[in-house]
């Protein structure tokens, strides 16, 4: 079973330039986890490019829930989480089997 982890965030900043910068930084930090967190199967994160949507999204695949759980607590991921929490207003996530 492969587990797909999909997350989207809305930035807290009011001005568009700051929101875009924070979204870009989140995407870069998440993408940098590939090869660092061994349980990541695939991972792609990107900042929004169409007005009216959430600001940044992540799509990642894991072998199973245990692999997702290991990713969640990995120290490198936790560093990204700390930054994300400092700049976001809202988060939505869905995990489903492929």
Question: For position 15, which CATH number holds?
Answer: 3.30.70.100
Q: For residues 25 and 21, give the distance between their C-alpha atoms in angstroms, rounded to a whole number.
A: 6
- Evaluate if residue 93 carries a pLDDT over 90: yes
pLDDT value of position 51: 86
| Structural domain for 57, as ranges | 3-97
- Total number of domains constituting the chain: 1
pLDDT value of position 23: 98
pLDDT value of position 95: 98
In this predicted model, what pLDDT tens digit does every residue of 69-84 receive, in sequence order? 999 999 999 999 999 9
In this predicted model, what pLDDT tens digit does every residue of 22-68 receive, in sequence order? 999 999 999 999 999 999 999 999 999 998 899 999 999 999 999 99
Reported pTM: 0.95
- Evaluate if residue 1 carries a pLDDT over 90: no
């Amino acid at each position: 079973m492969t587990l797909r982890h999909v997350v989207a965030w809305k930035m807290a900043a009011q001005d568009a330039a700051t929101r875009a910068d924070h979204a870009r930084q989140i995407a870069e930090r998440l993408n940098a986890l590939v090869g660092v967190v061994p349980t990541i199967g695939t991972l792609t994160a990107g900042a929004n490019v169409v007005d009216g949507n959430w600001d940044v999204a992540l799509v990642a695949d894991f072998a199973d829930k245990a692999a997702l759980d290991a990713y969640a607590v990995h120290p490198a991921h936790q560093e990204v989480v700390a930054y994300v929490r400092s700049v976001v207003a809202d988060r939505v996530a869905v995990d489903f089997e492929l």
